[in-house]
Amino acid sequence: MSGAGTVEESGMRIHELAKENRSVRRFRQEISISERDLLRFIDSARLAPCGANLQLLRFTPVTDKKHCSQIFPSLKWAGYLEDWNGPEEGERPPAYIIIHAPIGERKHLPVDVGIAAAYTVLSARESGCGSCMIMSFDANMIEEVAGTPEGYQPFLIIALGVPGEETVLDEADENIRYYRDVKDRHHVPKLALDDLIVPVKE
């Protein structure tokens, strides 16, 4: 803080990380990610705020090739790219983090997962890793391959690795669908800040 309660713009890199952090769907599969790195990303999630500070989420880091290859078929990729079935061999994630949530209705759990996932992927981006948060997957297959704590279910899977594609951040007009251009670059349209602001009622 400085001056009369104003916030300094310099210092933290969070805004730059947010601009850099796009969903990556093609990775450099030959570059492995260590479990130590995944634990560091998870540790960032551990420090995140959560409902009533209950800390209900559990995390499974996956780095070995056998489990990664078994997890991959359970995932569904890029709904907007209807003619693309996901990354080819050589482009697939070399690591995953599975976030497990308790079975049962707790209204704050989706919020907890979202916050934890955001901390995780920003920590990963700061380390040079790309990521993709995936909610569309075969939960039974994930439980069979990786297991899950008793009373829990897999809620979100984060694919991780060194990016193997170029992503471009665009300003959206009316169309917010991501797409790939003729040079195979992945474009992500984002609405302008003014489009998202709701002014206080006069």
Q: Which residues contact 196 (CB under 8 A, 6 or more apart)?
A: none
Q: How far is CA 63 from CA 127, 198, 199, in A?
A: 16, 43, 46
What residue spans define the domains of the chain?
14-164, 166-202
CATH number of 14-164: 3.40.109.10
What is the residue type of 135?
M
* 95-143 pLDDT per residue, tens: 999 999 999 878 899 999 999 999 999 999 999 999 999 999 999 999 9
Quick one: CA dihedral 169, 174, 178, 180, positive or negative?
Answer: negative
What is the residue type of 168?
V
CATH class of 166-202: mainly beta
Q: Which three-class secondary structure state does DSSP give residue 169?
A: strand
Question: Helix H segments across the chain?
Answer: 14-20, 35-46, 65-71, 109-126, 139-146, 193-196
Per-residue tens of pLDDT for the chain, all 202 residues: 445 555 555 555 888 888 888 899 999 999 999 999 999 999 999 999 999 999 999 999 999 999 999 999 999 998 888 888 899 999 999 999 999 999 987 889 999 999 999 999 999 999 999 999 999 999 999 999 999 999 999 999 999 999 999 988 888 887 899 988 999 898 999 999 999 999 999 8
